Chains A and B, each alone.
Chain A
């Protein structure tokens, strides 16, 4: 097991390096020179040249990358030129919001997706199965900005059950905090559960055709016991992968959802950094998020090994 973890971890290093290079390139190749952005309506050629020199923008790209990477490895991700905040400060202020949002969304997504998948698989091809598969498809094709506005209109403007926008930290007012998170988390979850449901449903259907299930049925075990105890665990491998990958998708979703619901999370930080060309924040946040994603997937790989002994013994 230790050897397996170590081997897996070795893969992570080159991935992280590639991520850092890509992040840097994307930020550097964005149209609009940073010097022009900072100088705005006083961007005379002389001032631009002077500022570019000050900021090292006149150095070759590879040199800038290496010097940035050097600083990153020492834990210095840089400072925003607009606010003077360091990347780590900015991220640590906002990460709790995004984490809470993603966890709630994933939780709601599983809460809807798993039971529906089991119910559908139990009677594959039945009326409920066909209806839910159809609805899942419809949900999947609805963009989150539309879902968000519909939810706001229904629950905030018409019914007035939930707030349209806003945020308070969980540590200050836990209940109010949860109220603020319901609609944004639901928006994301409504796009999450179809994926969860479809993956688990098809795996369950396959598992239910295995011989040992037939044996269990022949032994006269209760159908619910067969479904939840004998069929669910072996069918959940793909589900774990999907849940892991979903974290990445959810991060993308937070860009839109946090802007609409005015949640002060990582997504908003990133959108703001893009609009204002705050490249230091942009590079830093993308790098940290990408690292987070790589680590989540590393953990997912580890979970595989827990779920399936064949993987940890290297027979797969």
Chain B
């Protein structure tokens, strides 16, 4: 990993990126062609864009959001924050205050000028306890935002964040910048009539059907925006979504590894292109280390060693899912020479259970969906092979978080989402006392590593910290990781310029048609 931004920061404490401000956003190899329109098939109906109403943007909402809204920064191909609505940024020595200089002359689609006040209004609206926004949870780390002048935004954090600009790089419910005039004048209707500064303007939206987005003629970076029009529509059924791509009604569709048959079919089809991106984070499970049998480290280790991830991937996704041995993933800049992963070793697992001496019987929480059951049954089989008996505890998807928060589980599935920096989630998941430190596990050594990593600027030192953390977690087997977060989109072969799908976001705002 070559984190230029971080490397530069090592030498120059105040890092200015103004010089990059006028470089093109994407540097594609082929010649781009302007004009035309494409149709994009999303997985789900998008409920809307007002953070106060929808709370959280799901993957389907991110695709239109990336076209309608801008964010302060964006991530380049190497995962580094680059200027978008912010031209440059500096930080305080303790990494708790970040100051962003904004791009001048930017206007929202309704003509409202974009400035520091507008940015602050967005933040305040989400943070205001009176608004009871679910979205406030995700900006809990930000204490306040100030607007000292027209083009300066100061972000005050509760805790240090050395990579904060990478965390405001994609238009989720918090980072997308909305026009204050629009939400004030439209009220309840704003949710379905969003106004941003982005490259495309939402022209019409038929409920449950198509959104028509047209190129913003006044966009600040309009030379890098090629398509005249983008149509986005939900295609909820996986089979007919893929059929729509084959028959030409859609040019690009969302997909996931559970639709492995179609992805593999598309990989062999010269008329189609499969785009995939393995991000950071992973699909994970947490043991409750306070309840038997998982209060004994030998049992936890045995369970982890019994899992054959390759076979599991074959069983649930035709082999598409990529095994994970740490919580960082291929897409993270944290690369470990040794992550201390326990090997797949049935004999060793059996021996550990024998040593434990008591019968190993427990329940695993799974979602009551066909997918959840299959994954549960595969694990059940692995654990049966080493002499443990596991029962499936099938619950509704919405029941998993409260069960997790109240520690009402023995083993529970969870997810570490794809973020540009590991700190927010590693700290929350493993530091003593955090509400999502699900394993109920406390280790001063692990706490110390996590505290050090969040206030250290040098990337290589942070990598050392995070690798030490995962070695400790793997050895103690308090959580285990099954598969990496891999995202898929399938398109006609003539669709070019799709950037990496960070956080699962399919950003079609700068693609072109050959």
A interface list, Cβ under 8 A from B: 31-33, 36-45, 48, 80, 82-85, 90, 93-94, 148-149, 152-153, 156-157, 160, 163-167, 169, 259-262, 264-265, 268-269, 271-272, 276-277
Specify which of A43, A148, A164, A262 is in contact with B236 (CB 8 Å cutoff): A262
Q: Judge whether B398 and A148 touch: CB under 8 Å.
A: no
Q: Judge whether A260 and B240 touch: CB under 8 Å.
A: yes
Q: Judge whether B235 and A262 touch: CB under 8 Å.
A: yes
Closest partner residue, chain A, to B417 (CB atom): A41
Q: Judge whether B401 and A83 touch: CB under 8 Å.
A: no
Specify which of B45, B237, B397 is in contact with A260 (CB 8 Å cutoff): B237
Q: B145 to nearest A CB, angstroms?
A: 21
Roughly how many angstroms separate A167 CA and B56 CA in the complex, as a whole number?
Answer: 28
Instruction: List 8 additional contacts besides A83-B192, A262-B234, A271-B236; criterion CB under 8 Å.
Output: A31-B399, A40-B401, A42-B401, A83-B48, A83-B54, A156-B246, A262-B209, A262-B235
Q: Judge whether B243 and A164 touch: CB under 8 Å.
A: yes
**A152 touching B192 in the complex, CB below 8 Å, given contacts A40-B398, A272-B45:** no
Q: Judge whether B243 and A152 touch: CB under 8 Å.
A: yes
Q: Judge whether B188 and A167 touch: CB under 8 Å.
A: no
Chain A residues near B191 (CB-CB < 8 A): 83-84
Chain B residues near A31 (CB-CB < 8 A): 395-396, 399
Give residues of chain B (186-224) contacting chain A, Cβ–Cβ below 8 Å: 188, 191-192, 206-210
Specify which of A32, A164, A268 is in contact with B240 (CB 8 Å cutoff): A164
Give residues of chain B (2-51) contacting chain A, Cβ–Cβ below 8 Å: 41, 44-45, 47-48, 50
Specify which of A37, A42, A163 is in contact with B247 (CB 8 Å cutoff): A163
Q: B405 to nearest A CB, angstroms?
A: 5
Q: Judge whether A259 and B399 touch: CB under 8 Å.
A: no
**A41 touching B401 in the complex, CB below 8 Å, given contacts A83-B47, A260-B240:** yes
Most chain A beta carbons < 10 A, residue from B210, B233, B402? B402
Q: A91 to nearest B CB, angstroms?
A: 10
Give residues of chain B (383-402) contacting chain A, Cβ–Cβ below 8 Å: 395-399, 401-402
Annotate B422-448 by CB proximity to A: 1 below 8 A, 0 otherwise: 000000000000010000000000000
Q: Judge whether A45 and B48 touch: CB under 8 Å.
A: no
Roughly how many angstroms separate A80 CA and B250 CA in the complex, as a whole number?
Answer: 30
List the 7 closest A-B pairs by CB distance, nearest first: A264-B208, A32-B396, A264-B209, A164-B243, A93-B207, A32-B398, A37-B398
Tell me whether B514 is interfacial, beta carbon within 8 Å. no
Q: How many inter-chain contacts with C-beta < 8 Å in the A-B complex?
A: 135
Roughly how many angstroms separate A31 CA and B398 CA in the complex, as a whole number?
Answer: 9
Q: Judge whether B249 and A36 touch: CB under 8 Å.
A: no
Q: B229 to nearest A CB, angstroms?
A: 15
Chain A residues near B48 (CB-CB < 8 A): 82-84
Closest partner residue, chain B, to A148 (CB atom): B240
Q: Judge whether B240 and A165 touch: CB under 8 Å.
A: yes
Chain A residues near B402 (CB-CB < 8 A): 33, 36, 43, 45, 48
Closest partner residue, chain A, to B58 (CB atom): A276
Tell me whether B456 is interfacial, beta carbon within 8 Å. no
B interface list, Cβ under 8 A from A: 41, 44-45, 47-48, 50, 53-56, 134, 137, 188, 191-192, 206-210, 233-237, 239-241, 243-244, 246-250, 395-399, 401-402, 405-406, 435
Roughly how many angstroms separate A152 CA and B396 CA in the complex, as a whole number?
Answer: 32
**A36 touching B237 in the complex, CB below 8 Å, given contacts A156-B247, A166-B249:** no
Chain A residues near B405 (CB-CB < 8 A): 43-45
Q: B248 to nearest A CB, angstroms?
A: 8
Specify which of B50, B53, B56, B244 is in contact with A164 (CB 8 Å cutoff): B244
Roughly how many angstroms separate A166 CA and B244 CA in the complex, as a whole number?
Answer: 9
Q: Judge whether A262 and B237 touch: CB under 8 Å.
A: yes
Chain A residues near B54 (CB-CB < 8 A): 82-83
Q: Judge whether B192 and A259 touch: CB under 8 Å.
A: no
Q: Judge whether A268 and B435 touch: CB under 8 Å.
A: no
Roughly how many angstroms separate A41 CA and B134 CA in the complex, as a whole number?
Answer: 10
Roughly how many angstroms separate A276 CA and B60 CA in the complex, as a whole number?
Answer: 14
**A264 touching B207 in the complex, CB below 8 Å, given contacts A83-B47, A153-B243:** yes
Closest partner residue, chain B, to A277 (CB atom): B398
Roughly how many angstroms separate A39 CA and B396 CA in the complex, as a whole number?
Answer: 14
**A262 touching B233 in the complex, CB below 8 Å, given contacts A90-B207, A94-B207, A165-B241:** yes
Closest partner residue, chain B, to A159 (CB atom): B247
Closest partner residue, chain B, to A54 (CB atom): B132
Q: A163 to nearest B CB, angstroms?
A: 5
Closest partner residue, chain B, to A167 (CB atom): B209
Roughly how many angstroms separate A84 CA and B183 CA in the complex, as a whole number?
Answer: 13
Q: Judge whether B401 and A32 touch: CB under 8 Å.
A: no
Chain B residues near A160 (CB-CB < 8 A): 247-248
Roughly how many angstroms separate A289 CA and B275 CA in the complex, as a whole number?
Answer: 42
Roughly how many angstroms separate A276 CA and B405 CA in the complex, as a whole number?
Answer: 21
Q: Judge whether B206 and A169 touch: CB under 8 Å.
A: yes
Closest partner residue, chain B, to A82 (CB atom): B47
Closest partner residue, chain A, to B394 (CB atom): A31
Q: Judge whether B401 and A164 touch: CB under 8 Å.
A: no
Q: Judge whether B55 and A38 touch: CB under 8 Å.
A: yes
Roughly how many angstroms separate A39 CA and B399 CA in the complex, as a whole number?
Answer: 11
**A157 touching B247 in the complex, CB below 8 Å, given contacts A32-B398, A38-B134, A43-B402:** yes
Q: Judge whether A42 and B137 touch: CB under 8 Å.
A: yes
Q: Judge whether B209 and A165 touch: CB under 8 Å.
A: no
Closest partner residue, chain A, to B188 (CB atom): A84
26 contacts between A and B (CB under 8 A): A31-B396, A36-B402, A37-B398, A39-B134, A39-B401, A40-B134, A41-B401, A42-B137, A43-B402, A44-B435, A45-B402, A82-B53, A84-B50, A84-B53, A90-B207, A93-B208, A94-B208, A163-B244, A165-B243, A166-B233, A167-B206, A259-B237, A260-B239, A268-B45, A272-B45, A272-B208
Specify which of A38, A152, A163 is in contact with B239 (CB 8 Å cutoff): A152
Specify which of B44, B240, B248, B250 is in contact with A261 (CB 8 Å cutoff): B240
Q: Judge whether B235 and A165 touch: CB under 8 Å.
A: yes
Roughly how many angstroms separate A36 CA and B48 CA in the complex, as a whole number?
Answer: 20
Closest partner residue, chain A, to B397 (CB atom): A32
Roughly how many angstroms separate A165 CA and B243 CA in the complex, as a whole number?
Answer: 8
Roughly how many angstroms separate A276 CA and B250 CA in the complex, as a whole number?
Answer: 26
Q: Judge whether B401 and A43 touch: CB under 8 Å.
A: yes
Closest partner residue, chain A, to B231 (CB atom): A166
Q: Judge whether B247 and A164 touch: CB under 8 Å.
A: yes
Chain A residues near B406 (CB-CB < 8 A): 45
Roughly how many angstroms separate A271 CA and B371 CA in the complex, as a whole number?
Answer: 18
Closest partner residue, chain A, to B46 (CB atom): A83
Chain B residues near A37 (CB-CB < 8 A): 398
Q: Judge whether A32 and B399 touch: CB under 8 Å.
A: yes
Chain B residues near A167 (CB-CB < 8 A): 206, 209-210
Most chain B beta carbons < 10 A, residue from A45, A153, A157, A261? A157
Q: Judge whether A268 and B208 touch: CB under 8 Å.
A: yes
Q: A43 to nearest B CB, angstroms?
A: 4
**A156 touching B209 in the complex, CB below 8 Å, given contacts A40-B56, A42-B137, A262-B233:** no
Roughly how many angstroms separate A153 CA and B265 CA in the complex, as a whole number?
Answer: 15
Q: A55 to nearest B CB, angstroms?
A: 11
Q: Judge whether A36 and B247 touch: CB under 8 Å.
A: no
Chain B residues near A268 (CB-CB < 8 A): 45, 208, 236
Chain A residues near B395 (CB-CB < 8 A): 31
Roughly how many angstroms separate A32 CA and B406 CA in the complex, as a whole number?
Answer: 15
Closest partner residue, chain A, to B405 (CB atom): A44
Chain B residues near A157 (CB-CB < 8 A): 243, 246-247
Chain A residues near B192 (CB-CB < 8 A): 83, 85
